[in-house]
Amino acid sequence: MQRAEALEYDARGHPLLVKTQIDAIVASVTVWLRFDYLEPTAMRWTRERGDLKSLSGAWQLEDRGGGRTRATYSLEIGLNRTLGLLRKGVRGPAETKVRELLTNRPVEGLKREAERPPER
């Protein structure tokens, strides 16, 4: 993600509508995402408008006891016609890189934050 700009907030200050710019390697994609917070166990987002046909995702947190939490990340992407045609011509390493960016990076970021020592 190259840029994110919160456009609407809820009463608690959580972003509700976020305009994002994503570098998808083969093209720059702008998407407005609508967030829903199901505290303390989940958050979800869906495409409100933008360059993708559809986009929805979620984080689900499950208490596993003993100070452990299972975090499940889900993401569904529907490419628009133009990006779908680009994807067909970009098989192999480039397609693998796009999938990695959209699936692995958010999970790696959460892991990094969860394992960071608490601030004193």
| pLDDT at site 104 | 74
CA distances from 2 to 19, 21, 23, 41, 118 (A): 11, 5, 6, 27, 27
Beginning with the edge strand found earlier in the chain, give each strand of the sheet holding 15-23 in spatial order. 3-9, 15-23, 28-38, 42-50, 54-65, 68-78
Domain ranges for the chain: 3-115
In the predicted model, is pLDDT for residue 99 greater than 70? no
In the predicted model, is pLDDT for residue 117 greater than 60? yes
CATH topology of domain 3-115: Alpha-D-Glucose-1,6-Bisphosphate; Chain A, domain 4 (3.30.530)
| pLDDT at site 92 | 47
| pLDDT at site 81 | 60
In the predicted model, is pLDDT for residue 51 greater than 60? yes
